[in-house]
Amino acid sequence: MTHVALSHVRALTFDVFGTVVDWRTTVTRELAATLGEGKGLEADWEALAARWRFEGYVGGIGAIRGGERPFTTADALHREKLDEILAELGNPLDEAEAAELNRVWHRLDPWPDSVGGLGRLRKRFVVSTLSNGNFALLVNMAKHSGLPWDGFLSADLLGHFKSDPETYLSAARALSLEPEQVMMVAAHKADLDAAAGCGLHTAFVPRPNEMPAGRPTDLEFEDRFDFNATDFHDLATQLGC
Amino acid sequence: MTHVALSHVRALTFDVFGTVVDWRTTVTRELAATLGEGKGLEADWEALAARWRFEGYVGGIGAIRGGERPFTTADALHREKLDEILAELGNPLDEAEAAELNRVWHRLDPWPDSVGGLGRLRKRFVVSTLSNGNFALLVNMAKHSGLPWDGFLSADLLGHFKSDPETYLSAARALSLEPEQVMMVAAHKADLDAAAGCGLHTAFVPRPNEMPAGRPTDLEFEDRFDFNATDFHDLATQLGC
């Protein structure tokens, strides 16, 4: 990245699931605690966590973006898939227990560098979520984990899911910035490529422990991104924070 | 307020201009510094601050709510009225200076109890703005003053200005709460009455120093509000924080 361009960047917008927080470990652990230890069931909890995420959330967003179903929130998509999984397991939870388990996505553990790295980055930049999660989920997650966000931009408030271009453009507009004054930070190349297509800068922070075993993940640094960093502390150092 | 109802409240949403921050003192001071000391002009700076707020911002929102003009942001409304005021003064500022002066609304001083009171309240509740200001303005203000918000709900993200009912209802929806789980906190009774009409709880915190001299303001406690408090510390105490 040229230093001329860098000097114009005022805000960093972050993908959250996978980039800032470790959904796989937290969700696997809570499934095992609630359904395994709590109800005496046996299953491959990590495989169920992956189904919950990829079939429920990622699949649901794809259907919404494709116009096959109306707009809804991450919370609702999570609950729909959870109910399907619980039905397969013989409906072992009552309503209060199911609602509580669905909120596991509000209390995902941050990666070890997330809180400290964001704390460094926010001294120089506005740091905001730009997530397909919903506002309440992101706010509760920050309160739970101490993630020091300056603000929350979310699919429900912006009216679009990533990687629709409107998501990135309306985020820049909400920040009262031009797209080139914003840098998207993500562990996922498709997110960054869509942001770059809208004129945002890009920082790639691969997360080698995000994915369940057997699911391939592309961790290679790329020249086309403005920055490639091993974690948020490395990004803060490269950005002079 | 009954304690039964109180036990359901999960989030407090705050009016910002006048309730959390002192626009009159800050804007008057910066007008005097930029145009008086900076450019040698003479004027009643407090009266200009009041015109900027009431004709520009409040009047603009009224026109938008009445369907007389398209949706725009607080920043844009502020700039429009500033340009009119500056033209009357003979256009003493260049573009960079005018833009900087317009951003005074991003750096308004909090009332003395605001930062500490919010810090107490957020231990028990989600505390969010629910402001006709725009997202960037509110985020910059929090960063400038250390206001410890858990989240930002703003007219530009919700697509409605207060006191349209949709504003309060979409705020509750964004928080994933029922209206009765949310309490609106404001120094202005019309804001609270509109919130109550949507099913939200209400807390009145009058701010006797908000208004310029000669502009009447209604500071009297009212039984119809769930809480009446002298400041945010008093509210925190009444709420058991």
pLDDT tens digits, B80-125: 999 999 999 999 999 999 999 999 999 999 999 999 999 999 999 9
- B148: nearest CA in chain A? A150
B6 in contact with chain A, both atoms CB, cutoff 8 A: no
What is the Cα–Cα distance from A102 to A79, expressed in whole angstroms? 6
**What are the chain B neighbours of A128 within 8 Å (beta carbons)?**
139
B66, with CB counted inside 10 A (0-12, 13-18, 19+), is exposed
* Tens-place pLDDT, residues B26-64: 999 999 999 999 999 999 999 999 999 999 989 999 999
What residues in B contact A135, CB-CB < 8 Å? Answer: 151, 153, 174-175
What pLDDT score was predicted for residue B215?
A: 87
Set out the domains of chain A in order of their start, with CATH numbers: 3-22+108-238 (3.40.50.1000), 23-106 (1.10.150.240)
pLDDT score for A6: 75
pLDDT of residue B231: 98
Is A125 in CB contact (< 8 Å) with chain B? no
Q: Are B13 and B194 in contact (CB under 8 A)?
A: no
Q: Tell me, what's the pLDDT at A5? A: 58
- What contacts B169, CB < 8 A, 6 or more positions away? B179, B198
Q: Is the pLDDT of residue A4 over 50?
A: no
Range name among B69-73, B91-95, B102-106, B128-132 with the lowest pLDDT average: B69-73
CB contact under 8 A, A174 and B142: no
The answer to whether B177 faces chain A, any CB pair under 8 Å, is: yes
Q: What is the dihedral of CA A133, A136, A138, A140, to 10 degrees?
A: -140
Query: How would residue A216 be classed by pLDDT, with cut points 50, 70 and 90?
Result: confident
Q: Indicate the SS3 state at residue B12.
A: strand
- Among residues B53, B160, B36, the alpha carbon closest in space to that of B102 is found at B53
- Cβ–Cβ contact B128 with A under 8 A: yes
Could you give the count of Cα atoms lying within 13 Å of B6 in the half-sphere of its Cβ? 14
The Cα diameter of chain A in Å comes to 60
pLDDT for res B5: 58
End-to-end CA distance of chain B: 16
- CB crowding A198-229: b at 16 or more within 10 Å, else e: bebbbbbbbbeebbbeeeeeeeeeeeebbbbb
A149 in Cβ contact with A157 (< 8 Å): no
For helices A135-145 and A74-88, angle between their N-to-C axes, nearest 10 degrees: 80
Q: Which residue type does A19 have? A: T
Three-state DSSP class for A168? Answer: helix
Q: How far lies B156's CA from each of A2, B13, B159, B165, B239, in Å? A: 33, 16, 5, 15, 30
Determine the residue type at B193.
D
Q: Name which residue leads in pLDDT, B6 or A32.
A: A32
Q: Check residue B6 and give its pLDDT.
A: 76
Kindly state the tokens that stand for B182: 């949310």
For residue A213, name the pLDDT band (cuts at 50, 70, 90): confident
Q: Which residue of B has its CA nearest to A158?
A: B157
**Tens-place pLDDT, residues A76-130:** 999 999 999 999 999 999 999 999 999 999 999 999 999 999 999 999 999 999 9
| C-alpha closest to that of A98 among A113, A117, A115, A84 | A84
Task: Check: CB of residue B63 under 8 Å from CB of residue B69.
Answer: yes
pLDDT grade, residue B216 (50/70/90)? confident
Measured between beta carbons, the chain B residues lying within 8 angstroms of A134 are 174, 176
Complete DSSP assignment for A170-203: HHHHHTT--GGGEEEEES-HHHHHHHHHTT-EEE
Has residue B147 got a pLDDT over 90? yes
At residue B10's C-alpha, the angle toward residues B4 and B13, to 5°, is 115
Which among B73, B135, B156 has the least Cβ separation from residue A151?
A: B135
* Residue of B145, B157, B166, B175 to mutate, interface with A, max A Cβ within 10 Å: B157
Min Cα distance B175 → chain A (Å) is 5
Provide the pLDDT for residue B213: 84
- Which of B:53-82 have CB within 8 Å of A? 73, 75
**CB nearest to B157's CB, from A138, A157, A176:** A157
To which H or E segment does residue A135 belong?
Answer: helix A135-145
pLDDT tens-place string over residues A29-50:
999 999 999 999 999 999 999 9
Compare all CA atoms of chain A with the CA of B152 and give the residue at the minimum distance.
Answer: A151
Distance CA A151, CA B140 (A): 9
Q: Does B2 contact A at CB distance below 8 Å?
A: no
CB atoms within 10 A of CB A237: 13
Which pTM value belongs to this model? Answer: 0.95
Burial class (CB in 10 A: 0-12, 13-18, 19+), B10: middle
CB contacts, 8 Å: B177 with chain A: 136
Q: What is the pLDDT of residue A44?
A: 96
Q: What 8-state DSSP symbol labels residue A106?
A: G
Q: Which residue of A has its CA nearest to B157?
A: A157
Confidence of residue B7 (pLDDT cuts 50, 70, 90): confident
Q: Average model confidence (pLDDT) for chain B?
A: 95
Q: Is a pLDDT exceeding 90 seen at residue A214?
A: no
Helical H runs in chain B?
3-6, 23-31, 45-51, 59-65, 74-88, 95-102, 114-121, 135-145, 155-158, 165-174, 189-197, 232-238
Q: If pLDDT is split at 50, 70 and 90, which confidence band does A149 have?
A: very high
Residues 6+ apart with CB under 8 A from A74: A57, A105, A132, A133, A134, A137, A155, A156
d(CA B55, CA B57): 6
Give the pLDDT confidence of A67-87 residue by residue, as tens digits: 999 999 999 999 999 999 999
